[in-house]
Chain A
């Protein structure tokens, strides 16, 4: 789960990290009163969860209260990659002389947490890695022991810091690792970490993402995550309102499978034959009739979905049970959308018989099922 910049900064502040003076504003008036309180000039930063905010005009400075009013008003009506701006962070403008970069994240390849630092902050990290690989310092950390301050001091030294700044930086690094560890973050980042004209280090921008799988031990974020649905489409919202998790893929064939890999493979085969899936929906192993009904409902209701393809390979899951589930949904909801079912594995003959009774012919290969659903869609267009 991604946090907004101001939320990330609040967490960082609570860990004793230096952040600019400022506050969040939900309206133009609030923005003006924050600016009055902290003093001009200020930075006005649109709060969105998508990247590329700066380039989209989401970050502006203001030197007068009139500017605060007009700029924040513009920011509130801005849309950044389809995400609307609901709050603006108003911060005291820093006099930055140099920008650094620091992040703690998970290195999947090494299976370890990694601290990444650079003397070239403010840039896109990918770009930085490509154009100036020598400027990037990486420190892998044994998660069982965490970071020891001397390691952080070596990182500070490698990015060219000295004297008081070396100490301040390593202190920031240790605290950022602490956040990573204690909150089960997948990313704790400051880009840039600014050096001001007074020689201070301040977290000018902040990112903090919490691992979804760890939300069970962070109740405060769990609640937030339930409330927040970033980057979701109408179909995803409809599905979520029914308690179903799916990924919208934009096409017209609703795909339901059991198992993530199998469902992805089904969509790939569909694409191979030139069709487009409406969604990725994995019902998981051993789904009950009720769970099936729940998964099917948003696809039945959503008009863009012209046909539905169900792909079940029963291992532990029994095909006859699945068939009873489909039959129940079919009879209860009385929908007319074309339905193609691939049903193979444990008790498949019984399952196929049950579905035949209600007029649904099943397939035993993904290929045949996919070809059938494509035929249904083309004749339905």
Chain B
């Protein structure tokens, strides 16, 4: 099994005629994802790499029974696009867009919860269940099917660690990029709960970074609700206070959100924390042997 995504998901790409949307629609198709439709308002009736384009998500849903959407719409129109998917009953919504104002994100995250939709992102690489499907912008070749679940706040760092695992012969069940913004749809806690129930996942790797307290909150449920083994890595040990380290969410404010407080929270509940990204496979092997 996998979580949230498998080969049966039926995907619509919002913003499919844009540079990013068209490029990644093709790569997702090549990976084997059922990309059935695209949406760009005003461009309905056309095609992108053979994929039919519609003006509204409603049309795509009615004609192709899509249940998953991926959003490449620019920040200025992203609120509209996400709300459209929520409103049309799309169950899994992956928001790739970077730079969405938090007031917009908070509104659609709230609405999604009420309507039973899951939002991944914003500002994320998406989700992949290796060998099944990918709904995102991650390079497929770094992943391999296996027993490790990964959740991460960063894109390329996830590829780095997934690849280290793959090279060490350790595959992954599902890998989710939660997103680098201060407010995201899915959190570490949500993903831990999903992996806990997934038979195929034997251990979970959490990749955190400075800013906020998502890691500290996740640590609070590990060992209580979460019985599976968890390994973590936290980026940004040397980040100065008050400076935004690339991601909108990666900022240490008034002493809170430091890497050390996150590392400590994990270690306090028995989670193995890697000093360097390349140490993750060894720690995973160690917890799997236990």
Residues of B within 8 A of A269 (CB): 276-277
Tell me if A186 is interfacial: C-beta within 8 Å of chain B.
yes
Considering the complex, which residues of chain B in the window 188-227 have a beta carbon less than 8 Å from any beta carbon of chain A? 207, 209-214, 217
Tell me if A63 is interfacial: C-beta within 8 Å of chain B.
no
Tell me if B283 is interfacial: C-beta within 8 Å of chain A.
no
Tell me if A376 is interfacial: C-beta within 8 Å of chain B.
no
Considering the complex, which residues of chain A in the window 310-356 have a beta carbon less than 8 Å from any beta carbon of chain B? 313-316, 344-346
Considering the complex, which residues of chain A in the window 60-86 have a beta carbon less than 8 Å from any beta carbon of chain B? none
- Give CA–CA (A344, B243) in the complex, Å: 29
Considering the complex, which residues of chain B in the window 130-171 have a beta carbon less than 8 Å from any beta carbon of chain A? 137-139, 141-142, 152-160, 163
The answer to whether A144 touches B107, judged by C-beta atoms less than 8 angstroms apart, is: yes
- Give CA–CA (A118, B99) in the complex, Å: 33
Q: Which of B107, B139, B248 is within 8 Å of A143, CB to CB?
A: B107
Tell me if B239 is interfacial: C-beta within 8 Å of chain A.
yes
The answer to whether B76 touches A217, judged by C-beta atoms less than 8 angstroms apart, is: yes
Can you list 20 A-B pairs, Cβ within 8 angstroms, ordered by A?
A: A106-B183, A108-B212, A108-B213, A113-B103, A143-B107, A184-B103, A211-B102, A212-B244, A213-B102, A217-B101, A259-B155, A259-B246, A261-B155, A261-B247, A262-B159, A262-B160, A264-B209, A264-B235, A268-B235, A271-B238
Residues of B within 8 A of A262 (CB): 154-157, 159-160
The answer to whether B247 touches A346, judged by C-beta atoms less than 8 angstroms apart, is: no
Residues of A within 8 A of B238 (CB): 249, 267-268, 271, 277
Q: Which of B100, B107, B163, B235 is within 8 Å of A261, CB to CB?
A: B235
- Interface residues of chain B, those whose CB is within 8 Å of chain A, are 23-24, 27, 75-76, 99-103, 106-107, 109-111, 137-139, 141-142, 152-160, 163, 180, 182-183, 207, 209-214, 217, 233, 235-240, 242-250, 254-255, 259, 275-278
Residues of A within 8 A of B259 (CB): 268
- Give CA–CA (A212, B182) in the complex, Å: 12
Considering the complex, which residues of chain A in the window 178-236 have a beta carbon less than 8 Å from any beta carbon of chain B? 181, 184, 186, 211-214, 216-217, 231
Considering the complex, which residues of chain A in the window 160-190 have a beta carbon less than 8 Å from any beta carbon of chain B? 181, 184, 186
The answer to whether A216 touches B106, judged by C-beta atoms less than 8 angstroms apart, is: no
Closest partner residue, chain A, to B242 (CB atom): A231
The answer to whether A126 touches B254, judged by C-beta atoms less than 8 angstroms apart, is: yes
The 4 closest A-B pairs by CB, nearest first: A261-B154, A260-B246, A259-B156, A315-B139
Residues of A within 8 A of B248 (CB): 212-213
The answer to whether B141 touches A268, judged by C-beta atoms less than 8 angstroms apart, is: no
Residues of B within 8 A of A111 (CB): 106, 109-110, 183
- Interface residues of chain A, those whose CB is within 8 Å of chain B, are 106, 108-109, 111-113, 126, 142-144, 181, 184, 186, 211-214, 216-217, 231, 247, 249, 257-265, 267-269, 271-272, 277, 280, 282, 285, 313-316, 344-346, 365-367
Given contacts A184-B102, A247-B244, A366-B278, 20 further A-B contacts (CB under 8 A): A106-B182, A109-B217, A113-B106, A143-B103, A144-B111, A181-B103, A186-B102, A211-B102, A213-B99, A260-B209, A260-B246, A261-B207, A261-B246, A264-B245, A269-B277, A272-B275, A285-B156, A313-B159, A316-B137, A345-B163
Expressed in whole angstroms, the minimum distance between the Cβ of A256 and any Cβ of chain B is 12
Q: Which of B75, B235, B242, B247 is within 8 Å of A265, CB to CB?
A: B235
Expressed in whole angstroms, the minimum distance between the Cβ of B136 and any Cβ of chain A is 10
Residues of B within 8 A of A316 (CB): 23-24, 27, 137, 139
The answer to whether A264 touches B236, judged by C-beta atoms less than 8 angstroms apart, is: yes
The answer to whether B101 touches A184, judged by C-beta atoms less than 8 angstroms apart, is: yes
The answer to whether A268 touches B236, judged by C-beta atoms less than 8 angstroms apart, is: yes
Closest partner residue, chain A, to B247 (CB atom): A260
Expressed in whole angstroms, the minimum distance between the Cβ of B9 and any Cβ of chain A is 21
The answer to whether A346 touches B111, judged by C-beta atoms less than 8 angstroms apart, is: no
The answer to whether A112 touches B106, judged by C-beta atoms less than 8 angstroms apart, is: yes
Expressed in whole angstroms, the minimum distance between the Cβ of B113 and any Cβ of chain A is 9
The answer to whether B254 touches A313, judged by C-beta atoms less than 8 angstroms apart, is: no
Expressed in whole angstroms, the minimum distance between the Cβ of B140 and any Cβ of chain A is 9
Residues of A within 8 A of B99 (CB): 213, 216
Most-contacted residue by chain B among A109, A216, A268 (CB, 10 A): A268
Residues of B within 8 A of A260 (CB): 154-155, 180, 209, 245-247, 250
